[in-house]
Chains A and B, each alone.
Chain A
Amino acid sequence: MSVRTLEGNARFWALAACLFWLAFTLFPLYWVVITSFKSPLGVVGGPTYIPFVDFEPTLTAWSELLSGQRGQFFSTFIASTIIGLSAAFLATAIGSMAAYALVRFTFEVRLLSAVIFVVIAFGGYLLCRHYLGVGQATSLIYAFIAALALSIISSRFKLPGPVLGNDDIVFWFVSQRMFPPIVAAFALYLMYTEMGKLGFKLVDTYWGLTFAYIAFSLPIVIWLMRDFFAALPIEVEEAAMVDNVPTWRIFFGIVLPMSKPGLIATFMITLAFVWNEFLFALFLTNSKWQTLPILVAGQNSQRGDEWWSISAAALVAIIPMVVMAGLLSRLMRSGLLLGAIK
């Protein structure tokens, strides 16, 4: 049933409800737009709705924002763009490979190997830190490498205990998004500062923030792309295998082009996440690589809520995403698989 088949009163009410909902969702956006053109007096002096009738629009908020009086607008915008695009691209690329592997190959990880990893990682860190007197970051690195090596070696033996399969691995990935990000943000900040002491500056650098975003986007990317890859007809890949096409070429030459709509959708979701992310940006940057959400929040200054400049900054943060979504959604058309199989 669709709205088109409705008749008479039913049709009228359905349309009215839809229009009401449209107004309800569009009004905040409209309010932000007109607020950004109001003068400070116009904002605090009670609600006004229609430009030129209710109030005289001014460009004060915009000129303040663009001239840099309200924070380094241009560098922030550029930082957001670079970090957003590259983190979304890298996360989609790496996550797709992981997702493809999880769909097409069978993994068997013994639970005991995972336990060995955890025990060695924690135990090794404590050992290095408290008994051998090694620095924090160095102990972390040693413990991690030892744990990884031992768990990989141990997985070669037929250890007793349950065996984890692909679904368990995917669940493990997704489970990383279940705890509150603030838990990780603190730990990450500490780790980054320790790394900084070793000479690898990560706080307030491009790589520091990008790494964090890639790590936190991967679970979602893997989860989404796994479903897209699982829906692909395996015969197409088998045909290529029989035709002696190398695996990497099957992935890049056949699988990725076939899942283009999925890749773009995933890229878009990741980009939206990274673009709007606030917490990590707050912890891991301070000036040079600050992103737009920090700038918007920064408009809420000591002088009180300056809604006019918050509105202008918020619009600047919204518009690029609207444009991106508009451009990419045209590429997201379905039906790309048409003709591959019956």
Chain B
Amino acid sequence: MTRPAFTPRRAGFIALCLLPGVVFVMLFTYYPMVRGAVIAFQRYNLFDLTSTPFVGLENFRAVLAEDRFWTALRNTGTWVGASLFFQFVLGFGLALILRRNFRGRGLYQAWVFFPWAMSGFLIGLLWRWMFNGQFGVINDLLLKTGIIEEPIGFLASPGWAMTSVIVANVWYGVTFFAIMILAALQGVPRELYEAAGVDGASRLRQFWHVTLPHIRPMLALIVLLRVIWILNFPDLIYSMTGGGPAGSTDIVTTFLIQQVIGGDYGKAGAVGLLVLALLLAFSIFYLNVTRSDETTR
């Protein structure tokens, strides 16, 4: 892409177009976030504001010394890993099927897209109700089909709760994933397939040698955005289990919410910065890995 050279008149235009967005983000996102980050180095408890001295890394030490933080971190791994895996695999499958046109495809897409219109908060509630131990429809269906003999307290047992929230999250995320992958698939130029087709390549080989390499950079980006998003997405867990029972569905961001509700803004800030550091480190690492893949290809 050619980009025009820089002139004063252009500078004015650029500023005019970009300024509103930048001002909003600076004032209402960066300013409070920087303040919040500063609080991470203060003793700052909402219920005891008589003194808020700077305490260095005290909050970070306190957070890192907590078993619960480490449990939450492990759970975050499970939550992100499992959600991503299933959303990816199912979404990819769906995208492959949706790639070829068929009658009613537009309508079908609109219908399966609907979970995206709901909030994570509502989806958590919805599944909380369906997973209910006594009056939940999931237990009822499993009992009726003879898969289980006694109702399971899905959200009440530490063993099942994580599985349950992941099921809900997969349900929520598959279609969006599918749409994104579909877009990537549609970006593959037809000629590539034609060339491969002439060579008499089988469909599988076509997929492996033409489709996949072509969409790989985009897949890499989609996956990265997804990781960030799932990790920063406590809404569903918040309304479904609140992180319980016994912290078995706590992820770092629900842990952070609990610190905020508990009034300990200092510790909350520390957790927030740790999450940020984690995500930045992961992104850099991930981008490097996927990029070097590309160049060696």
A in complex with B: no
| Interface residues, chain A, with chain B CB atoms under 8 Å away | none
Residues of B within 8 A of A (CB): none
